[in-house]
Amino acid sequence: MPQVKVRRRGISAQDAAAVIRAGLPGEKLEITQRGDRELAISKNFFVHATVSVSDEPGGTVFNVRGGGPVIPLLFVATRMANSRGIARRVADVLGSHEGFRDDA
C-alpha cells in the first residue's frame, strides 16, 4: 500500500481529488468522495483505488490502496495489479504536488 506524507496540514479529500484529476488528465477517472477523509477512484470495472486522508503531526498522510471487483478469483490478482498500477500513480501525483509540500 503506497503511503505518502506531505508537509502541508489540513488537506481535504476534495483538494486531493482536484490534484488527482489535474495530475492524471488523460486517465478518465471517476472520483467519488466517501465522507470527508476518503476517496474512491475508478477507471473501469477492474481498475480501482481508495485514498484515505489523515492528519498527523508535521503534515498530512495519504494511504492509497489498490482495489478490484468483488469476484473471488479476480479480487486478489486485480488488487495486487492495482496496488502497483493506479495506486502508485495516484500516490506519485499526490506526493509531487507543489501545493502540498509546505504550509501555504
- The DSSP element (H or E) to which 84 belongs, if any, is helix 72-84
The larger pLDDT score, comparing residue 72 to residue 53, is at 53
* 93: Cα within 13 Å, side-chain hemisphere: 20
What confidence score (pLDDT) does residue 39 get? 97
Q: Is the pLDDT of residue 51 over 80?
A: yes
- Give the residue extent of every domain in the chain: 3-97
What span, in angstroms and rounded, lies between the C-alpha atoms of 8 and 41?
Answer: 23
Residue 78: partners with Cβ closer than 8 Å, 6 or more residues away = 46, 47, 48, 66, 67, 68, 69
CATH architecture, domain defined by 3-97: 2-Layer Sandwich (3.30)
What span, in angstroms and rounded, lies between the C-alpha atoms of 26 and 20?
Answer: 11
Q: What is the mean pLDDT of the chain?
A: 90
What confidence score (pLDDT) does residue 52 get? 97
What confidence score (pLDDT) does residue 45 get? 86
